[in-house]
Amino acid sequence: MARPTPWLRFPESTRYKAGLLVLATSLLLFFSIISTTSAFFGPQPDSFQPSSEKRELFIETYQELKKGQLPDLSETLVELQGYPLAPYLEYQLFRNQLAYQLVDNEQLLSFLRHHQGTAFHDKLKEEWLVQLGSKQDWKTYTLVAGSQALNDPQLECYRLQAEGNLQGRSLSWLETSAQFWRDNQPLPSSCEPLRQSLSKLGFLSQDDYWQGALGLMRAGQTQKAWDYREHLSKEQRQFLDFWRRGRLNPANRLQAAVEDRAAELETQPELGNEVLLDLLEQHASSHPSQTQRFIQQLEDKELLTAASAYRVHELLAIRAAWRNAPDTLELFAEVPENRRTAEGREWFARTQLRRGNWQKLVAAIQELPEALSQSNEWRYWLAKAYLQSDQPKTAEPLLESLAQVRNYYGFLAARELGVPPQMNASPAPLNAVPLQALSEKPGIQRAGELYLTGFVEDARREWHHTLAEASTATWQQAAWLAQNWGWYDRSVNAIHNAGSQNALELRFPLAHLDQLRPLAKKANLDLALVLALIRKESLFNPEARSHVGALGLMQVMPTTGQQVSRQLQTPLLAESDLLKPEYNLPIGVHYLSRLMQRYQDNPTLAAAAYNAGPSRASKWQQQLGKDTDPRWVEQITYAETRDYVKSILAFREVYAWRLQQQQLQLVRDTPKTPES
């Protein structure tokens, strides 16, 4: 096995001695509970036992419908009578009919009334309302939507138009509609007819448009704000144009203000400081040095308040801290301590930590807001700063308290003290009677059948719709049910919703071990590290897709997948193959093993490379040194990667414990051979 990084992994001899007898006793009790419910757990999730013929017919028809087809379902629905997913075929057929504008209103209304309270009801209803509103079929819209205000701005806009067209534009309607327009900027383009009606009838004033334009500018909706210019005064248009052009070229407008060429600001003196502050913040991201000069020049001309100047100086300092820039502390010096925000104070402390200024770090942590200073992270670094400042007696109580916590910093504290990490595991209750009752809920049965038939998105919608008002106890049983189905991401989510943070057997599932054990052994990888990475990357969801295109359990990028699959001589036939564990796991494990080899079995660097790419990880190694201790981790410039590495290292420790507990259970369950 690959050698663990010594500063976080604990020696086997010390890791699990403490409390082992107590843990073993609790686990024996826990597994005895499982054995009493094993008969129930057998056939889930299809406890209603539909025939394989019905299942296959549903899958075939639903897949056809999802491709946009319009088949005749009459015979199919007869064959699927009693099958819990049969309504999904009608639901998808109605969606297709809406897309082609071929829907029969009476049939769809009858279907919705018959299936109120289902997971798909609101989605189908909203799609129908959008189409009815776009067609201005106000009579049907009112029939479907009702008279109560709707949460969705587009649907509420249509509802108001329907009410005005059918019942007339009364004074009450005009006042309600005008207030809706004022309170919901920016509104979708479908609300344009409502705006025109209000404007023609004099219920939107110049001030309404001005306040709307300012609100849109503050929200970053520059073009939508500019669309209101024809309703503004000449001075308002000039001011808005100054701001709009400044968004496109901040330096140009800031220079104009410095050179007294910004008469537009004088027309709205109460807003001038706000606009200049906005343009300085825009400019600071790309031209920090020039922004500093602008701050001083605008202050000298009394166009910028001291509070705004401090705000921009702090922004420049924080952004410098993000980059680990050499001048970070000099930039923070421009902002008096009593004018720093919570974010600024934390980044000032983080900079002292990165520089190893231990005594100054103590003072910086003490200046943090209490919610930050009492966090696990800053409690650990305060203790570390005391140790580095030759104050071990002050540090020890902090470390002893923190070492009782199961997280990254708690594990670091335990290592400092030379004691085993505390897992604080507490098995979640597994109760056969409420579990049986839960499994018999129609929504849960539909969720299970949808998951089993491969329609996971629909399954997830059913699952959360059914459990929307669930109690803590119900969420706990739902976690067990989902884990038994192999739906691990919903199991982890359910136990999180239950608030059972110590139910490690559910929060950190030992999934896909039959595949992963031989793969990890062949790649000379620590199995706990592989499981930790999957837990972080996908939460054991084989269909996970990231915003950058990574796929599957180990979130493999398609280009990486193609390269590694060729090396393994198991070429991918399609990109979607990465959503299949039989492809994703060998590729992901092999890629991780290559990273571990590249970085001399250093999981910190391998994890950083897996998240941010090898080139960035190598750059950090060159800049920060080869000793990847905890302070090295804190200097990673990407916040996402910094947190990712911490999670992987902590999850790895938890999975090492989980695997050892599993091994202990196997030993206990193995029948002993009688001595001869």
> Based on the number of CB atoms within 10 Å of its own CB, is 357 exposed (0-12), middle (13-18) or buried (19 or more)?
middle
Average pLDDT over residues 332-348: 97
Q: For residue 505, which of 523, 537, 526, 483 has the smallest C-alpha distance? A: 483
pTM given for the model: 0.90
- Residue 381 sits in the same domain as residue 314: yes
Q: Is the pLDDT of residue 48 over 80?
A: no
Average pLDDT, the chain: 92
Residue with tokens 């409390």: 19
Examine residue 261 and state whether it is found in any structural domain, yes or no.
yes
Residue 455 lies in a domain: no
Residue 612 counted as domain residue: yes
Give SS3 for 285.
Answer: coil
The answer on 290 and 180 residing in a single domain is: no
Q: For position 310, what pLDDT does the model report?
A: 97
For the chain, what percent of residues have pLDDT higher than 70? 92
How far is residue 341's CA from residue 348's CA, in Å, rounded to a whole number? 10
The answer to whether 386 touches 392, Cβ cutoff 8 Å, is: yes
303 or 674, which is more confident = 303
What span, in angstroms and rounded, lies between the C-alpha atoms of 462 and 56? 20
**Closest C-alpha among 585, 582, 604, 590 to residue 523:** 590
The domain in which residue 607 lies consists of 513-669
Residues 662 and 525 in one domain: yes
Structural domains in the chain (count): 3
The pair of structure tokens assigned to 324 is 């680990």
Per the DSSP assignment, residues forming a β-bridge with 145 are none
pLDDT of the residue at 317: 98
Q: What is the pLDDT of residues 488-497, one digit of tens each?
A: 999 999 999 9
Do residues 258 and 374 share a domain?
A: yes
Kindly state the average pLDDT of the residues 245-256.
Answer: 96
Cβ(150)–Cβ(142) under 8 Å? no
Where do the DSSP E strands lie in 560-664?
none
**Up-side HSE of residue 12: CA atoms within 13 Å toward CB?**
6
In a shared domain, residues 222 and 354: no
Specify if 19 maps to a domain.
no
The size of the chain, in residues, is: 676
- Print burial letters for 463-498: b (CB count within 10 Å at least 16), e (below 16): bbbbbeebeeebbbbbbbbbbbbebbbbbbbbbebb
Euclidean distance between CA atoms 142 and 538, whole angstroms:
43
Residues 215 and 180 in one domain: yes
CA distance 148 to 126: 15
Task: Answer for the pair 571, 565: CB distance below 8 angstroms, yes or no.
Answer: yes
Residue 304: C-alpha distances to residues 267, 282, 299, 594 (Å): 16, 15, 5, 55
| DSSP states along 114-132 | HTTTSTTHHHHHHHHHHHH
pLDDT over threshold 90, residue 595: yes
For residue 511 the two structure tokens come to: 């999934």
Residues 220 and 341 in one domain: no
Rounded CA separation 290/454 (Å) = 56
d(CA 675, CA 439): 46
State residue 29's pLDDT score.
Answer: 38
Within a domain: 394: no
Q: Across 9-13, 21-25, 242-246, which has the greatest mean pLDDT?
A: 242-246
- Would the pLDDT of 5 be above 60? no
Residue 571 covered by a domain:
yes
Residue 46's pLDDT is 43
Asked whether 146 and 122 are in contact (CB, 8 A), the reply is: no
pLDDT in tens, 88-143: 999 999 999 999 999 999 999 999 999 999 999 999 999 999 999 999 999 999 99
HEC letters along 515-551: HHHHHHHHCCCCHHHHHHHHHHHHCCCCCCECCCCCE
Question: pLDDT at position 580, please?
Answer: 95
* Opening angle at CA 99, ends 96 and 104, nearest 5: 70
Residues 311 and 182 in one domain: no
pLDDT higher than 50, residue 299: yes
Task: Write down the pLDDT at residue 203.
Answer: 95
Q: Can you tell me which residue has the tokens 């279907």?
A: 111
- Same domain for 209 and 106: yes
Burial code (b: 16+ CB inside 10 Å, e: under 16) for 532-563 equals bbbbbbbbbbbebeeeeebbbbbbbbbeebee
Could you read off the pLDDT of 185-206 as tens digits, one per residue? 999 999 999 999 999 999 999 9
State which of 387, 414, 437 marks the end of a domain.
387
How far apart, in whole angstroms, are the C-alpha atoms of residue 294 and residue 497? 50
Report the CATH number at residue 261: 1.25.40
Last residue within a domain, chosen from 345, 365, 387: 387
Say yes or no: 221 and 256 in one domain.
no
In a domain, 638, yes or no: yes
Q: What average pLDDT does the segment 240-260 reach?
A: 96
With contact defined as beta carbons under 8 Å apart, do 599 and 617 qualify?
yes
Q: Is the peptide bond before 288 cis (omega within 30 degrees of 0)?
A: no
What's the rounded mean pLDDT across residues 253-278?
95
Task: Please give the structure tokens belonging to residue 626.
Answer: 């080869």
Mark whether 187 and 254 lie in a shared domain.
no
The full DSSP string for 142-156 is HHHH-SS--SSHHHH
Residue 180 to residues 151, 152, 511: CA-CA distances in angstroms? 11, 12, 51
> Could you tell me the CA-to-CA distances from 128 to 94, 240, 515 in Å, in that order?
9, 39, 46
SS3 556: strand
Token reading at 503: 């139910």
End residue of a domain, out of 192, 226, 260: 226
348 within a domain of the structure (yes/no): yes
152 and 250: one domain?
A: no
d(CA 185, CA 224): 9
Nearest alpha carbon to residue 196 among 219, 212, 177, 217: 177
Domain CATH code at residue 211: 1.25.20.10
Q: Report the CATH number that the domain containing residue 517 is assigned in CATH.
A: 1.10.530.10
Distance between start and end Cα atoms, the chain: 37
pLDDT over 90 at 4, yes or no: no
